[in-house]
Amino acid sequence: MIRHRDVDQLQQLSQAPGKTLTVYLDVDQNNVANRKRQFETRLKDMLRQLRASSGENDEELATTAGEIEEIVRRIEPTGKTLVLARHSKLGVTFRKVLKIALPPGGYWGNGAFMRPLIEALDEHERFGIVLVDSKRARLFTIFLGEIEEHRDLIADIPPRPDSPSTDKPRSQSRMERHHDESVTSHLRVVALEIGRLLDQLEIDRLIIGGAVGPASELARLLPKRLRTKLVEVQAIPVTASAEDILSRTAEVQTRLERADELEIIRDLLREVRKGGRAVAGMSAVLDNINEGRVWKLVYLQGLTLEGAVCDGCNMLFDPANEHCPICTKVLERETKMIDRMSRAVLEHGGHVEMVDGPAAEALRQVSEVAALLHS
């Protein structure tokens, strides 16, 4: 989980004088190419490339790259992306394995290159999950693919008083009515408390689970501002483990994210078709990257492309080119072209979006790679 102290450390590193090496490495073990620690080999390639493009004999980069390789050797790949920033002279390191995919790349410059991470923090929605039954309520938040239970926060809710002992016989309906009223008052307290907590935790979306009756009643009792955030009521047992809740809600999250991605691609395709502020296909995208006009680079997740790079003027070209059309130097072959393209876009203040699922299918109709341009 990304916590405040992480963000503080990030700020410190992004403002530190002198150079910082920042690495975003794909360590996802669902990808066969990353197994048996092969991500270490890709890190070596990435660093070699960075040293080549940084020119001269940059001793500081060589030292820092060595330190980064050493750190990665001890990393357990427990997520999708390793984010690592190292300031050698200050002896400061930031490291985090995130459960989400971010565009891979290596950056050597003044201040850590934190924009892809900060953007993910901004853009990803924070989910609140409330599980209720007639006696209990549990609150979880899910952010960047990680789940956290807020035991400490929810402990203030007074437990529902136990049903009075039935030493005097009472009619069935009176007992039922008493029980219903007491459940409702429990749920009213939960709704109020949840409202307060969800504001405090800045929740974007809400899922309610637990026993079916109390869960749907809680949904009705929610304050209006929270009801708009309610995505759905699911039959998740109130005793479910954190891992269980994470997998049960993953499908809902994926569905919402896919819908957002599809919206981006539809906009993009509309612009491409009318010859507006978007282009599709590698050559057109490269031209616009070289001219600094790309606002958002969009590509199929897992895409690999070959290309050519000029180490004289740093321009990116189609692999068919042998010489740089600008400075005539012989071009270097690049097998991880999409990483180079992402890096160039991010360094010029643009954004990168990797798409999967239906959005990927829609994009594939025109190309594997496309770009929305600055207006």
Judged by CB under 5 A, does residue 330 bind Zn ion?
no
Q: How far is the CB of 329 from Zn ion (least distance, A)?
A: 5
Burial status of residue 204 (CB atoms within 10 A of its CB: 0-12, 13-18, 19 or more): middle
Candidates 73-81, 245-253, 324-332, 358-366 — which segment interacts with Zn ion by CB under 5 A?
324-332
| CB < 8 Å & 24+ apart, contacts of 265-272 | 265/298, 265/355, 265/359, 265/362, 265/363, 266/362, 267/372, 268/298, 268/363, 268/370, 268/372, 269/362, 269/363, 269/365, 269/366, 271/372, 272/366, 272/370
Judged by CB under 5 A, does residue 344 bind Zn ion?
no
DSSP bridge partners of 20: 109
Query: For residue 75, which amino acid is it?
Result: I
Judged by CB under 5 A, does residue 33 bind Zn ion?
no
Q: How far is the CB of 114 from Zn ion (least distance, A)?
A: 29
Judged by CB under 5 A, does residue 326 bind Zn ion?
yes
SS3 91: coil
List the Cα angle 38/39/44 in 5-degree steps: 100
Judged by CB under 5 A, does residue 237 bind Zn ion?
no
Interface with Zn ion (CB under 5 A), residue from 1, 118, 235, 313 = 313
Q: Is the CB of 333 or the CB of 364 nearer to Zn ion?
A: 333
Q: Is the CB of 200 or the CB of 283 nearer to Zn ion?
A: 283
Number of residues located near Zn ion, criterion CB under 5 A: 6
Q: How far is the CB of 93 from Zn ion (least distance, A)?
A: 35
Interface with Zn ion (CB under 5 A), residue from 324, 354, 355, 369 = 324
Interface with Zn ion (CB under 5 A), residue from 312, 321, 332, 366 = 312
Judged by CB under 5 A, does residue 310 bind Zn ion?
yes
**Distances 102 to 17, 79, 216 between C-alpha atoms, Å:** 26, 11, 37
Task: Write out the residues near Zn ion by the rule CB under 5 A.
Answer: 310, 312-313, 324, 326-327
